[in-house]
Structure 1
Amino acid sequence: MTMYNSLLLQDTYNNVGTEVLLFHDYSLMVLMLILVMFLFFMKIVFKSTKFMLKGYYSSELLEFSWTLVPGLLLISLGVPSLFLMYFMEGATKYDLTMKAIGHQWYWSYEINEFGGELAFDSYMNNEIQNSTYRLLDVDQHVELPYMTKVRVLVSSTDVLHAWALPSMGIKVDACPGRLNLLSIYSFRPGSIFGQCSEICGVNHSFMPIHLEFSDWNNFLKGIVT
């Protein structure tokens, strides 16, 4: 999760988050390259003894260059983003399925697997004394096994919501009357926090998401009990 005075992105828990982080850094590198080139040519123009463009009317090479170079830069950004978009769709086979349903203004979760049924509502923890993370802690968190392919079915009962986990680089809209699907996979245990990322009303800021990744034994104990 993001800590105080943090300038960088959050630590990632899965491959998707790592790829999103790398693409973010690569995009910034391309933007810095464009900025440096622009400032360099501006310096040449304004610091020269006479303007280079005076009496310069046309050049096929120049027109070809300022068309080709931006096109190559866009391709260098578009191709990785398309690969990343399809990579974020996840696997076709899953070990576990969970439902996340948005309400005004809380989340409800359902897990019906391995002969057990688990369904509960998750509200923000309003007791500041018992809350470790302000506006992010909930009264009942979701416990999932790590190193496991989990399919999440996201929907809503009233208005548009968004189930977002920045540490995993995923965000999916919760639409009334529609099921959206996403895949989550954590390669290490730990706690992941998120929030609703779609303006859904007056208490939109108070819909936190808390996932706890642990081993299979703890997960199955929660399902059975």
Structure 2
Amino acid sequence: MAHPTQLRFQDVASPVMEELLHFHDHALMILFLISTLVLYIIIGMVSTKLTNKYIFDSQDMEIVWTILPAVILVLIALPSLRILYLMDEINDPHLTIKAMRHQCYWCYEYTDYEDLGIDSNMIPTQDLTAGQFRLLETEHRKVVPIDSPVRVLVSAEDVLHSWAVPSLGLNMDAVPGRVKHTAFIASRPGVFYGQCSEICGANHCFMPIVVVAVPLEHFESWSSLMLEDA
């Protein structure tokens, strides 16, 4: 969960998000080195009378200025492709959940269970209890087991939406008439909040997503209780 005046990412809760955070720091360091080099050259061009001889007419500088960007692109592309591969579909997920977006709520269907499904509506501000977050809490939370590959099938009933949970490194568009998939592994127990990241209508800011990651035995107890009440 983000906190006031926070500048960096939310606490990492999945291996993919951890890789994304490392890639962010890696790319940021490359950007810092490029900015430092360009600033150094600009200062040198302004402060010396030998600029034309040693910079503008330098064959060595032209060679470096051509090869260096290619090396930088490789340094960025290789870890980026690795993360894209890690974010690909899990071949053998332990759990598959279909997330269908309606105009005012998310509907989650646990496809591995015959009658297990929940509607996740936002809790109105006047109904919140102490400790709950405004515009982020839902009546029913999506519960998943930790350390288990989970596949999420995302779609929408009306317009374009997005199923996004920053702590888990998830952001998948929900497209009407299409089923898209994403996957994640929750690496620690916790409650993780997200919101629709598409400007999809008047109620765009009232589309919270809450994922609760619990140990496997607690998930089994929760699913058994939900099936009994169904």
> Does the Cα contact within 8 Å between 2:55 and 2:61 map onto a contact in 1?
no
Query: CA 1:143 to 1:67, structure 2 compared with 1: closer, same or farther past 3 Å?
Result: same
Give the aligned length.
223
What is the rounded CA distance, in whole Å, between the counterparts of 1:100 and 1:136 in structure 2? 17
Normalising by the residue count of structure 2, what TM-score does the alignment of the two structures yield?
0.90
- Which residue does the alignment assign to 2:106? 107
Measured at CA, do residues 39 and 105 of structure 1 come closer, stay the same or move farther in structure 2, by a change above 3 Å? same
Q: CA RMSD in A?
A: 1.8
In the alignment, does 2:40 pair up with 1:40?
yes
Q: Describe the SS at the equivalent of 1:32.
A: helix
Identity among equivalent pairs (%): 38
Stretches of structure 1 lacking an aligned partner (at least 5 in a row): none
Asked whether the equivalents of residues 14 and 187 of structure 1 are also in contact (C-alpha less than 8 Å), the reply is: yes
Shift of 1:55: 9.7
* 1:220 to partner: Cα distance: 2.0
Alignment correspondent of 1:68: 67
Q: Contact 1:103/1:157 (CA < 8 Å) preserved in 2?
A: yes
Moved more, 163-172 or 213-222: 213-222
Q: Give per-residue Cα distances to partners, 1:86-111, cap 9 Å, x unaligned.
A: 11114211111111011113211011
Deviation of 1:47 after TM superposition, in Å, equals 1.6
Counterpart in the other structure of 1:199 = 199
Bigger proportion of residues as strand: 1
Q: CA–CA distance in 2 between the matches of 1:56 and 1:33?
A: 19
Distance verdict in 2 for CA 1:57–1:34, change over 3 Å = closer
Residues 72-124 of structure 1, C-alpha deviations (whole Å, 9 max, x = no match): 1111111111111111114211111111011113211011325x521121111
Q: Is the 8 A contact 1:104 1:200 kept in 2?
A: no
Q: Distance in 2 between matches of 1:55 and 1:140?
A: 67
Distance 1:213 1:55, change over 3 A: closer
Distance 1:108 1:94 in 2: 20
Equivalent residues of 2:142, 2:212 under 8 A apart: yes
Matched-pair contact (CA < 8 Å) for 2:89–2:181: no
Report which stretch shifted further, 89-98 or 26-35: 89-98
More helix by share: 2
Which residue is 2:147 aligned to?
147
Task: State TM-score, norm by structure 1.
Answer: 0.92
| Partner Cα separation in structure 2 for residue 220 and residue 89 of structure 1 | 27
